[in-house]
Chains A and B, each alone.
Chain A
Amino acid sequence: MESVSLLEVRDLHYRYPDGHAALRGLTFTLAPGERVALIGPNGAGKSTLLLHLNGLLPDRPALNPAVTVDGLPLVEANLPEVRRRVGLLFQDPDDQLFCPTVWEDVAFGPQQLGMREPQLSRVVSDALAQVGLGGFGERLPHHLSRGEKRRVCLAGLLACDARLLVLDEPTSDLDPRGRRELMMLLTHLPVAQLIATHDLEFVVETCPRAIVLDAGRIVADGPSRALLDDEPLMLAHGLERPHILRHRHPH
């Protein structure tokens, strides 16, 4: 029987090495192709949760893992395959763009998976074209703008044929044009996406569903417009009602 959900998180707990509890029993699922926003105040545990989705946390995989990706529980043996299917986009693209050229960086993932020429070049140029950076292969990372760096990182994930993209604050520190380009790109990608963000306008425009995280717990999970329009809820968890909704609702 085919599993319906792409990502299943069941009662996920995590404590930092110093004992501080970061995640206190999270439960949610994601369907293939779904685009979900993860919002909440700073320190809520968003980044920590994201690191759990491709097995970077916990340091040692649990015997009975709380996370299942595409039917694969997150045990040691499944880690390589899970990391192929779940593409994690880090907040600082400089941390992720570690190869000497754009081409080499996009090719890094497929190479680790054993891909060789001529398929490798095809996959790399396809991925670059998909993010609108065809012809950027020979460019050096430090000559790119922030938005371009983000898109190269995205291409690197697409080149591995990821089924779920997990993005950590993708529109932070982008100029309006970069932000708009990224939004267009994400809405046109058929891949499922979980996007941690502070950019509430972005959430309204691109994500049908939102999960609100505060102090390591999920406090709300539902249609984003309804949640974001709920002013008391927003204010209670360090957020606010986005302007775009204030203009639309004439009360």
Chain B
Amino acid sequence: MLRDRLLSPYQHGSSAVHRLPAGTKLLAAVACAVLIVLLPRSAWWAHAAVAGGLVAVAAVSRADLRGMLLRLLLLEPFVLGIALLALLRPGGVPLFLSMLTKSTLCLATMVLLTATTRFSDLLAVLWRIRVPALLVTTLALMHRYLFVLVEEMERMQRARRSRTFVAGRSSAWRNSAQVAGQLFVRTSERAERVYLAMCARGWKA
């Protein structure tokens, strides 16, 4: 399912890249992104070198390149819109190309990171580097229950669609809003139960 693909970027493997510590990979990815952004626009050779490096890492990790390329192509219309506006400026063509190149290279870096690193390992790194506990807990709970909520949402949508006999924009809006509203009610009730479960196992806020 495409949704599942979108929601779970991690691809299990045992390559050298997979076996690197998560902290190292996160640091390398962020450093690479910063480098890409700071490279002068005219240094085409540097951009090409970075691209070559990323391809090499991708090859070593033996990750599925087709999936990654698909995700690289999922550019938001907003991005294209702004980029096109940039074209209108005097000297806009190098700017446009630079923006597109940099954003694609950084995207590729992050795609490689998430394909070779488990989210739970990334969370452990954030915990170790003393990111505020509340944020890490929130990230962990969000990631854990994301899939649960999406499945619940799909079930509710299917139920609604089975009882919708009039196709149309207003009924689509009403249905989506109903699903979202009910999902929130169920979510807050679940949050209450999760709180009880955490207390039952000795958690102190």
Contact = CB atoms under 8 A, between A and B. Distances in A.
A and B touch in the complex (CB under 8 A): yes
Interface of A: 51, 54, 56, 80, 83-84, 88, 90, 92, 94-101, 104, 108-109, 112-113, 138, 140-142, 156, 160
B125 to A, nearest CB: 12
A100 B119 CA distance: 8
Contacts of B190: 94-95
Interface residues of B, dominant DSSP: helix
B200 interface: yes
Given A83-B202, A100-B119, 9 more contacts: A54-B200, A90-B196, A94-B190, A98-B194, A100-B143, A109-B202, A112-B201, A156-B201, A160-B201
Interface in B180-202: 190, 193-194, 196-202
B44 interface: no
A112 B202 contact: yes
B148 to A, nearest CB: 6
Nearest to B198: A98
A83 B148 contact: no
Contact of B200 (A83, A138, A140, A141): A83
Contact of A84 (B144, B193, B199, B202): B202
B140 A142 contact: no
Contacts of B120: 100-101, 104, 140
A56 B199 contact: yes
A112 B120 CA distance: 19
B123 interface: yes
Nearest to B8: A140
B141 interface: yes
A98 B144 contact: yes
A142 B148 contact: yes
Contacts, number: 60
B147 A109 contact: no
Contacts of B201: 83, 108-109, 112, 156, 160
B200 A100 contact: no
Given A83-B201, A109-B202, A112-B202, A95 B194 contact: yes
Contact of A90 (B123, B140, B197): B197
B78 interface: no
B173 interface: no
Interface in B135-170: 140-141, 143-145, 147-148
A138 B199 CA distance: 24
B16 to A, nearest CB: 19
Nearest to B12: A138
Interface of B: 118-120, 123, 140-141, 143-145, 147-148, 190, 193-194, 196-204
B8 to A, nearest CB: 8
A97 B147 CA distance: 13
Contacts of B147: 142
B156 to A, nearest CB: 16
A95 B202 contact: no
A92 to B, nearest CB: 7
Given A100-B119, A104-B120, A141-B144, A113 B202 contact: yes
Contacts of B194: 95, 98
A63 to B, nearest CB: 21
A140 B141 CA distance: 13
A245 B147 CA distance: 42
A13 B169 CA distance: 53
A138 to B, nearest CB: 8
A95 B193 contact: yes
A181 to B, nearest CB: 23
Contacts of A90: 193, 196-197
A174 to B, nearest CB: 18
B123 A100 contact: yes
A188 to B, nearest CB: 23
A104 to B, nearest CB: 7
A83 B140 CA distance: 24
B121 to A, nearest CB: 9
B5 to A, nearest CB: 14
Nearest to B197: A96
A51 B200 CA distance: 9
